Chains A and B, each alone.
Chain A
């Protein structure tokens, strides 16, 4: 049995039985909606069947998905590239829109002040601190959207927690997350070989209700008490104080010693967070780089992102056999992406067999090609 089959058997003694409580609750709601309509729109709250104590909304999610990235482009409202939206189908909480535009086109990177190419971690921190002071950044308004462009690597030999073979397939994805993190939109992936000037016509899928991003209604990322802009902007910038906050909040979300926990929390915010539309205040980015600079076990080197761009890499060896590297743009000082590479041969014995990782094998690789605030889903900065 593989692990999915084992998992499918877990708790399968729970029976499949009809619930009259559930059906009666629906009937009550239907009756309330009828009454509401008859009353001219006043809302009647249907009583819900209750059993046991109520739970208060909980917190605590996340890690990062493999898709990650490089923040080559700007976080800042601006003009929009020539995309066309038409043909709305459906209504209410989810709908589709015909979309036409150039998904592989490069986004502008003018909203970040640059003081030249950073070539060392010390220079990076000097420049990013200066840039954060010059342009503090801002939160997206609740009705604005954060456009996110990512590139991720895949393997023709398959994936199962990591790439089983060489990263021989790459794809670009465009997504939009509303400023309040409670709505999203996305387009089908396109191959990374798509020429920047190629215009694609596709369908934009929009969810305006029922989507809970990491900053929506008490949801957050693993290792972070909250990822709202106001919370992130309120965090201390002194490295020791910020480390304490990260170590305290990470709790059981991550394995490893204190340094590894902090490193993974930072990775989670920069990667999963920014990929999911979380906007990181520049002064926090600067503070996080300062933490990385002095965190035991973190090393620094020149690095290349999935899109072939040169960057600055902070890396740490995790679980004794793979290197997780965060790549920072040397010109905009923003997050570019990550790369997981095996640093030694490693044998993984699982329920569905044994797999052998070879030293140097790329386990995961992705880039954030852009993140920008726009006025609506489907719009691109430009």
Chain B
């Protein structure tokens, strides 16, 4: 992500001026890891804007892939608000707090469970994906339509919530099993079994497809 001016303009044209301490932070804290920034934000709340600046794009993309554009910005914003309010309890010692944020975002996605499932079922039935439609050229979408995408969507739509969460945190957020366990607040063994079962369901759903149909390009 490129560095940006410490002034933000939202879609309604409102300009948000970053506080002076954040401007300083943006200039000086890029070397600080997230844990350090969050710790500093306890006494200087404006520092937390650095966390949002670093990770808003990744969280927004993850939520968009799950829920579509309509709900994504709401949920992504709420993710950071929850994180801000709970930052005193942040216990991560790693360089970035993305796993923590992904965990919060995942729980917030649960409020949209029916909508998420409905969109997956639509993709499964029709091959048209309402989530990616805003980002996909219509002709491209027709050319690259494949049997794999609806099958994956069908399998995902049938997964119980904990399995879907764990699987998507692995596949879309690139979290390790250990990070998923910490992000979702369950034991490592539970994560392993959830992903195992989810993968098994996916594998069965795709079982009768010709391997030649499963090229990476088929999904794009």
Contacts and interface: CB of A to CB of B under 8 A. Distances in A.
Contacts of B143: none
Contacts, number: 290
Given A96-B91, A159-B192, A22 B73 contact: yes
A80 interface: no
Given A46-B81, A51-B74, A55-B71, A23 B53 contact: yes
A210 B60 contact: no
B21 to A, nearest CB: 10
Interface residues of B, number: 102
B4 interface: yes
B196 interface: yes
Interface string B59-77: 1110011000011011011
Interface string A327-366: 0000000000000000000001111100000000000100
A28 B48 CA distance: 12
Interface string A294-309: 0000000000000000
Contact of A13 (B82, B132, B162, B163): B132
A351 B211 contact: yes
A350 B206 contact: yes
B96 interface: no
B162 A3 contact: no
Nearest to B217: A9
Contact of A3 (B8, B163, B203): B203
A3 B81 contact: no
Contact of B70 (A10, A12, A25, A51): A51
Contacts of A5: 216
Interface string A16-49: 1111111111111110011000000000001011
A3 B132 contact: no
A152 B112 CA distance: 32
Contacts of B90: 92, 94
B214 interface: yes
Contacts of A11: 65, 129, 131-132, 172
B214 A6 contact: yes
Contacts of A22: 52, 56, 59-60, 73, 76-77, 80
Contacts of B77: 19, 21-22, 25-26, 48-49
A160 B112 CA distance: 29
A232 interface: no
Contacts of A17: 57, 60-61
Nearest to B136: A13
B61 A50 contact: no
What 3 A-B pairs have minimum CB-CB distances, sorted nearest first?
A: A161-B200, A61-B161, A93-B89
Given A8-B172, A22-B52, 7 more contacts: A55-B111, A57-B111, A65-B190, A67-B193, A160-B199, A162-B200, A222-B160
30 contacts: A3-B203, A4-B199, A11-B129, A12-B219, A18-B4, A19-B73, A20-B10, A21-B10, A21-B73, A23-B52, A25-B77, A28-B16, A29-B81, A30-B45, A48-B81, A52-B70, A55-B111, A56-B111, A58-B110, A60-B114, A61-B113, A62-B161, A90-B91, A96-B91, A152-B189, A154-B189, A160-B196, A161-B198, A208-B89, A210-B89
